[in-house]
Amino acid sequence: MNPSSIDLHVHTTASDGTLSPADAVREAIAGGVALLGIADHDTTDGIPPALEAAHEIGLTLIPGVELSVGSGKREIHVLGYFVDVANTALSRALAKLRGARDLRNERILQRLNDLGAPLDAARVQEIAGSGSVGRPHIAKALVEAGHVSSEGEAFGRYLARGKPAYVGRERLSPAEASRVIREAGGIPVLGHPAKIGPRQVIEGILDDGMGGIEVFHSDHDENDVALLMSIAQDRDLLITGGSDSHGPHSDRPLAIGEVDIPEWVGEQVMGRAPRWWREGR
């Protein structure tokens, strides 16, 4: 594999991405990606159609998920790789998280209504398509309804943390997320950790059962990569990387495969693949 032929952090329309699972696989192949990880927010619904497309095309796809996690006031994302999408414990955890997301969305829409920016819930769901509704979809609906001129303004006026329509929601703890992923046969990986805080904060979260760390990411600069590599090597953690692409029509249109990831990352990840996954391929 070449340095740009790996992308282990991609979202689809199963959550807040703008490409269907099959189209994400096709874009990956078109961009020269040979090892792809689908990691949608709090759902694995995109994995079966992505696997079907990957098998037809000949791309290696790692089933993943990105769990919403809270640690104090910090919002953290834990990636799970090689998860068994049929695992009961994982399914229950994801259902709980989606329920919390739905309740949060209802409260956001109520707050927007009270603030004089009403939205039609059915239209918000149409914008989200078959995936779960998230704040980006509500932002798009606010623009469409003429309440704001851009999605950035939607977040700045209403939806960002601390703004009048922001609503927090129930999340797993880092330790709970790690446990659920391991019970599903997967490897818990701390996602885009440079966005979380300084080294001591990152290390504290890693102590909660993480088996890997996302070193290469579209938000990480050279200094971030050097720090995270040091942490990974000190702890013998699995090193991963990805674009965090949400598709070409998102508010952050990164292409799949856009982040250069060394070949050895893919080799290391495949070397840590659990037996159940290798035997089931």
Q: Which residue has the higher pLDDT, 101 or 170?
A: 101
pLDDT band at residue 253 under the 50/70/90 scheme:
confident
Tokens, residue 223: 């200094």
Phi, psi of 14 (to 5 degrees): -65, -25
Say how many domains are in the chain. Answer: 2
| Residue 109's CATH number | 1.10.150
The pLDDT tens digits of the residues spanning 9-28 come to 999 999 888 899 999 999 99
Q: In this structure, are 208 and 79 located in the same domain?
A: yes
Average pLDDT of the segment spanning 123-143: 88
Q: In this structure, are 119 and 61 located in the same domain?
A: no
Q: In this structure, are 43 and 175 located in the same domain?
A: yes
| Apex 24 CA angle, 37 and 251, nearest 5 | 100
Residue 73 has pLDDT above 90, yes or no: no
Q: In this structure, are 10 and 149 located in the same domain?
A: no
Q: In this structure, are 153 and 226 located in the same domain?
A: no
Q: In this structure, are 248 and 265 located in the same domain?
A: yes
Q: In this structure, are 197 and 85 located in the same domain?
A: yes
Average pLDDT of the segment spanning 73-86: 92
What residues contact residue 5 under an 8 Å CB cut-off, 6+ apart? 32, 33, 34, 35, 257, 263, 266
pLDDT at site 1: 54
Average pLDDT of the segment spanning 36-63: 95
Neighbours of 64 (CB within 10 A): 28
Q: In this structure, are 36 and 88 located in the same domain?
A: yes
Residue 79 has pLDDT above 60, yes or no: yes
Residue 140 forms part of a structural domain: yes
| Domain final residue pick, 130, 159, 188 | 159
| Residue 54's CATH number | 3.20.20.140
> Residue 278 class from Cβ within 10 Å (0-12 exposed, 13-18 middle, 19+ buried)?
exposed
Q: In this structure, are 58 and 191 located in the same domain?
A: yes
Residue 1 forms part of a structural domain: no
> Residue 116 class from Cβ within 10 Å (0-12 exposed, 13-18 middle, 19+ buried)?
exposed
Average pLDDT of the segment spanning 98-120: 94
Average pLDDT of the segment spanning 121-125: 95
Q: In this structure, are 78 and 210 located in the same domain?
A: yes
As a residue count, the chain comes to 281
| Domain final residue pick, 137, 159, 181 | 159
Tokens, residue 80: 């799970």
- Residues forming a β-bridge with 7: 36
Residue 213 forms part of a structural domain: yes
Tokens, residue 137: 């979809």
Q: What is the DSSP string of 200-231?
A: HHHHHHHTTT--EEEEEETT--HHHHHHHHHH
Q: In this structure, are 121 and 213 located in the same domain?
A: no
Q: In this structure, are 83 and 153 located in the same domain?
A: no
pLDDT at site 277: 83
Give the C-alpha separation, 15 to 64, whole Å.
13
Residue 165 forms part of a structural domain: no
Tokens, residue 163: 């703004």
pLDDT at site 4: 67
Residue 281 has pLDDT above 80, yes or no: no
The pLDDT tens digits of the residues spanning 159-197 come to 998 999 999 877 899 999 999 999 999 999 999 999 898
Residue 164 forms part of a structural domain: no
Give the C-alpha separation, 155 to 166, whole Å.
9
Of the ranges 44-53, 94-103, 263-272, which one carries the lowest mean pLDDT score? Answer: 94-103
What is the extent of the structural domain holding 90? 6-94+170-280
